[in-house]
Amino acid sequence: METQGLECTPARPGRLPDFVVIGSAKAATNTLRRHLSAHPKVFVRDDEPSFYTYHRARGLDWYRSIHAGAADDQLVGDISTHYSRLHWAEPTARQIAEVRPDTRIIYLMREPVSRAYSNYLQLQDVADEPVSLEGLTFEQAVELLPFIVDSSDYLAVLKAYLKHFPREQILALLTEDLNNDPEAVVGRVLRFLGLEPTPGMTLDPTLRANSRDRRVDGFLRTRLIGPVTRPRAIRALVKSLPDPVRIAAREAFYGLMKRSPIGKRLEASHQPRPMAPETRARLIERFSATFPELAELTGNDLSPWLAKYR
């Protein structure tokens, strides 16, 4: 539902967010971040503050201070996907409402089974959790970290937020729509915040932030190039080279190492195992049962999700 525009919080040492993008993880929140940051009236950080889940003890002064770079006429956004992990959703919603009850909530939802599997792949690549998922199957990973699947229960997450925010302060969107027509979806987000696309504002329809190919490439570079360039003398030699020479030499060496038996074994060891068919069938049954109510609540057409399951 479209609403009247927000008023920026008063000038003070830092700012509290005017809107919060709560997720979901692996639902193109970073792509939305890139698009929103192109608007001159929007300020969003490059990272996820995760204040209400990881940094609440630092206090509101710290939370304000990390947005101190916002201009007085900009709306401040907090984009933190942890806020839609199902076990954190209700306490996070309650805290946001206590701190600033007029906060606008934006929620990106991706076809839930694919999102859960993509979340599993991401957590294999990053050291973001207290347990390592390296080498584990999807099913083993979910036993250790149930939120991988539970956070695809968009209906339950939305109901948690609706306990603390009126429906008109929540905008739920589909990742697939953002990918297919970014200008239309970003336009909806801006209007929800009381803004309009600026003249000449163009969005890259091919933009996809945080693709797994880039993360795997980074992993391989670290493992293949890192040990060679770690000695101080080697680092000094590399730094002494002109930029074009250094970059060309690095890429040539990386390509050579990636094609070597060591590189091929390392890349093969980092390939994920597919989700078991019975697991996929169980998740499809679980989540598709929520689609009628979710569609009615959000006004989104979820038939493309169902089509993927046929």
> Quick one: pLDDT at residue 20?
98
CB 193 within 8 A of CB 19: yes
Give per-residue pLDDT as tens, 235-258.
Answer: 777 778 787 777 788 788 878 887
pLDDT band for 215, please (50, 70, 90 cuts).
low
Closest C-alpha among 248, 245, 244, 254 to residue 222: 254
> Quick one: pLDDT at residue 231?
77
Give per-residue pLDDT as tens, 1-22.
Answer: 444 555 554 444 689 999 999 9
Furthest C-alpha separation in the chain = 64
According to CATH, the topology of domain 19-208 is Rossmann fold (3.40.50)
CB 173 within 8 A of CB 106: yes
Give the least confident one: 88-97, 118-127, 178-187: 118-127
Q: For residue 12, which amino acid is it?
A: R
Domain ranges in the chain are 19-208, 212-269
The string of DSSP letters for 88-126 reads HHHHHHHHHHHH-TT-EEEEEE--HHHHHHHHHHHHHHS
Give per-residue pLDDT as tens, 135-162.
Answer: 789 999 999 999 999 999 999 999 999 9
- Please give the DSSP secondary-structure letter assigned to residue 163: T
> Quick one: pLDDT at residue 11?
41
Task: State yes or no: pLDDT of 298 exceeds 90.
Answer: yes
pTM: predicted TM-score of the whole model, two decimal places: 0.80
> Quick one: pLDDT at residue 242?
83
pLDDT band for 131, please (50, 70, 90 cuts).
confident
Between strands 42-44 and 75-79, the pairing is parallel
Composition of the chain by helix, strand, coil, percent to 5: 55, 10, 35
> Quick one: pLDDT at residue 245?
78
Q: What is the mean pLDDT of the chain?
A: 87
